[in-house]
């Protein structure tokens, strides 16, 4: 049984198309939450904030913020339903959004 | 229908070019997000949960077939093949890219449309009765006044930076279908004792976190004075409206804080400063506009159409749809067709591009190429010959548009909620779908009768929950969605704000709770008494007892 790690993920919307993206360990933005870096310490979260602020200034992304998440068995799951919906797409249209494009998180949002 | 003149065309073209330049500068990094945000919002472009969302204005809910087709084309070319008709008679697209938006605005401008005044602290797109110009009970078509207000308010320099957004609704009928008493300003045309038509001016209604019913500031204003009088109201609001707290900035708060009497006297004092002769421009313009809204070339028809009567007799489903989804037209031999976008289990207000084209074609062949969007998120074909109804119904049936639940339990208003909206605290759509599936049986819906179930996914109340006969408000309690139920709201001429029944419910419990409420109504109603009348007669207690009774 794998341990659950709790931390924070940095997210934003990509400027040119609004796509929901997550900051990865290598400092690039990914459409997939499972590629995000999970900041386990406040220091790590601050580093993500600094990195994101730079990319906001560089006009790559907009509307950045940290949200609570946990890693279970290599997959990352947002704590709050709002962020789970952002990592998947609308819960009422499985044919739309990340869940339809192969970039979804591993966890289902909520029962419909 | 109103047609753009050269000035309108130029205005919208220039605006689109301006936005193209602004978006390009944003993408190049010459504008920061803080600089760009107010500019994009002035053009209806929001950033939502999944992507950019564009809210397109449909002034007073009126669309031509050509415009509806273009909305479908835009959905296919730049979105995901559908759009969402909103409770403000507008349409929203949920999956736009910033880099495409200028082209989309150009495609809208090509059919005399835009997305101005769908956001920001300005006078928003004017809304009205979706049966305007067609309803049997109407005194006069309110849309010329709606268009006059649109022209007056569009980018009005004095009213572009109000304390908060400002919504005006107009109706020309005694039965209020435009919810005018829950708008910042509501206008109702009526005749005085001498039989002269004039406008009742109501101010300070609204929903959101502080729902209020508007108060009347003028009983009977001559039409030619309308714009001058609105200007006086706007000036009083602009001067005294609070700017320190956005939750207290709407005009309803001002009217409530200083009192209706004081507000009225401030408006009258401001109005008295307005020189009377300056209404001439408005009078001339209104006369020009009114010509565009002249009746289409109605035929002289019989009230009794044998073939239509025979079709109803031979097809019970068609007869049911006619009974529930058509309404009395002002001309004999015609009907108003209400197309429900609420088939059982479907998403309220969502419409595919194909459905848009089907409705555009039907309007072209059977309704003088005109359609309406209702604030209840349905589509209206305003002028249909009785003899054409069967063919229309058949076509609608083929495309999933013939749900015979107009005005019934399945005809639910729902905002996009947490499935799309960045402000939402809970989902609205799946709750609406679950209720609609639970009440899918049309016999039962007809037995329950006229009922408005309205769902909002946050306190901002885009889903009109305060004025639902049954209102449902989705909230977040420690990270979990839960839903408050209110009873007794109404947006009619006898408007009222619903009251909270008791503790909230988890999403999956809501359909059963609604079931219990409606069963209680059926048990306690007087013969032919509608839900709202029963509630007003017996109060909340029997419903509370039924809902919260513990074993």
On chain B, the residues whose CB falls within 8 A of the CB of A112 are: 430, 433
3-state secondary structure of B522: helix
Cβ contact B467:B495 at 8 Å: yes
pLDDT at B492: 97
pLDDT of A10 strictly over 50: yes
CB pairs under 8 A between A and B: 71
The residue of chain B nearest to residue A14, with distances taken between CA atoms, is B51
Choose the closest CB to B420 out of A56, A80, A90: A90
pTM, two decimals, is: 0.97
Is A16 in contact with B27 (Cβ distance < 8 A)?
Answer: yes
At B210-251, the pLDDT tens digits run: 999 999 999 999 999 999 999 999 999 999 999 999 999 999
How many CB atoms neighbour CB B263 within 10 A? 23
Q: Do A16 and B430 touch (CB under 8 A)?
A: no
Q: What is the mean pLDDT of residues B313-334?
A: 98
Residue B453, H or E segment = strand B453-456
Q: Smallest Cβ distance to B49: which of A15, A59, A86?
A: A86
Average pLDDT, chain B: 96
Cβ of A89 under 8 Å from any chain B Cβ? yes
pLDDT at B386: 98
Query: Across residues B32-50, what is the average pLDDT?
Result: 96
Q: What is the pLDDT of residues B110-126, one digit of tens each?
A: 999 999 989 999 999 99
- Give the residue from chain B lying closest to A85, CA to CA: B419
- Residues in A closer than 8 angstroms to B26, CB to CB, are 15, 59
pLDDT tens digits for range B49-94: 999 999 999 999 999 999 999 999 999 999 999 999 999 999 999 9
**Least CA distance to A112: which residue of chain B?**
B430
Handedness of CA B133, B138, B139, B143 (dihedral sign): negative
Percentage of chain B exceeding pLDDT 90: 96
Q: Check: CB of residue B84 under 8 Å from CB of residue B92.
A: yes
Q: What is the per-residue pLDDT for B277? A: 63
- Assess whether pLDDT exceeds 50 at residue A112: no
Tokens of B24: 């390009």
In this structure, are residues B302 and B295 in contact, taking their beta carbons and an 8 Å threshold?
no
Nearest to A13 among B47, B347, B419 (CB): B47
- Can you tell me whether residue A107 is helix, strand or coil? coil
pLDDT beyond 90 at B551: no
pLDDT at B274 > cutoff 90? no
The per-residue pLDDT for range B470-529, each reduced to its tens digit, is 999 999 999 999 999 999 999 999 999 999 999 999 999 999 999 999 999 999 999 999
Q: What is the mean pLDDT of the segment spanning B359-366?
A: 98
Is residue B94 within 8 Å of residue B48, measured between CB atoms? yes
Using CA atoms, how far residue B551 sits from B114, B504, B507, B517, in Å, is 57, 18, 22, 18
ipTM score: 0.95
Please check the confidence at residue B278 and state whether its pLDDT lies above 80: no
């Amino acid at each position: 049984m794998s341990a659950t790690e709790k931390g924070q993920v940095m997210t934003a919307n990509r400027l040119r198309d609004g796509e929901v993206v997550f900051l990865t360990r290598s400092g690039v933005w990914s459409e997939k939450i499972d590629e995000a870096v999970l900041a386990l310490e406040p220091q790590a979260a601050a580093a993500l904030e600094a990195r994101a602020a730079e990319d906001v200034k560089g006009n790559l992304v907009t509307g950045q913020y940290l949200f609570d998440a946990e890693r279970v068995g290599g997959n990352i799951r947002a704590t709050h339903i709002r962020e789970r919906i952002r990592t998947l797409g609308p819960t009422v249209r499985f044919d739309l959004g990340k869940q339809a494009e192969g970039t979804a998180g591993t966890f289902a949002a909520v029962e419909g | 229908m109103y047609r753009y003149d050269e000035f309108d065309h130029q205005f919208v073209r220039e605006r689109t070019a301006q936005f193209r330049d602004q978006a390009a500068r944003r993408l190049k990094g010459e504008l920061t997000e803080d600089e760009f945000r107010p500019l994009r919002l002035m053009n209806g472009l929001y950033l939502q949960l999944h992507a950019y969302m564009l809210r397109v204005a449909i002034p007073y809910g009126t669309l031509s077939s050509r415009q509806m087709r273009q909305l479908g084309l835009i959905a296919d070319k730049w979105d995901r093949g559908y759009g969402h008709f909103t409770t403000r008679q507008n349409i929203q697209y949920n999956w736009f890219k910033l880099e495409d938006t200028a082209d989309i605005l150009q495609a809208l401008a090509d059919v005399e449309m835009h997305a101005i005044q769908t956001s920001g602290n300005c006078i928003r797109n004017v809304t009205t009765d979706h049966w305007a110009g067609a309803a049997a009970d109407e005194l006069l078509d309110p849309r010329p006044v709606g268009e006059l207000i649109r022209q007056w308010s569009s980018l009005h320099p004095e009213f572009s930076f109000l304390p908060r957004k400002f919504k005006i609704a107009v109706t020309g009928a005694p039965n209020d279908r435009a919810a005018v008493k829950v708008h910042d300003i509501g206008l109702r045309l009526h005749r005085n004792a001498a039989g002269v038509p004039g406008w009742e001016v109501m101010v300070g209604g609204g929903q959101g976190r502080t729902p209020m019913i508007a108060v009347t500031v003028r009983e009977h204003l001559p039409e030619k004075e309308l714009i001058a009088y609105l200007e006086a109201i706007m000036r009083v609001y602009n001067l005294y409206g609070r700017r320190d707290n956005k939750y207290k900035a709407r005009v309803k708060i001002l009217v409530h804080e200083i009192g209706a009497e004081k507000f009225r006297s401030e408006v009258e004092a401001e109005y008295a400063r307005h020189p009377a002769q300056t209404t001439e421009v408005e009078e001339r313009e209104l006369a020009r506009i009114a010509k565009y809204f002249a009746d289409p070339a109605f035929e002289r028809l019989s009230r009794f159409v044998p073939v239509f009567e025979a079709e109803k007799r031979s097809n019970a489903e068609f007869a049911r749809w006619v009974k529930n989804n058509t309404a009395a037209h002002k001309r004999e031999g015609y009907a108003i067709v209400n197309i429900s976008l609420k088939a059982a289990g479907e998403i309220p207000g969502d419409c595919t591009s194909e459905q848009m084209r089907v409705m555009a074609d039907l309007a072209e062949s059977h309704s003088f190429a005109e359609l309406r969007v209702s604030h209840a998120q349905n589509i209206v074909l305003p002028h249909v010959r009785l003899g054409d109804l069967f063919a229309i119904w058949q076509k609608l049936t083929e495309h999933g548009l013939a749900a015979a639940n107009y005005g019934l339990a399945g005809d639910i208003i729902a905002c996009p909620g947490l499935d799309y909206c960045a402000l939402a605290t809970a989902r609205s759509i799946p709750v609406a779908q679950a209720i609609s599936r639970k009440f899918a049986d049309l016999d039962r819906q007809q037995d329950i009768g006229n009922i408005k179930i309205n769902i909002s996914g946050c306190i901002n109340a885009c889903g009109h929950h305060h004025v639902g006969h049954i209102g449902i408000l989705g909230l977040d309690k420690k990270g979990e969605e839960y839903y408050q139920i209110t009873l007794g709201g109404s947006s009619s001429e006898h408007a009222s704000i619903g009251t909270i029944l008791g503790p909230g419910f988890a999403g999956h419990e809501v359909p059963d709770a609604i079931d219990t409420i409606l069963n209680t109504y059926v048990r306690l109603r007087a013969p032919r008494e509608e839900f709202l009348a029963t509630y007003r007669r017996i109060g909340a207690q029997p419903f509370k007892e039924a809902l919260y009774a513990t074993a």
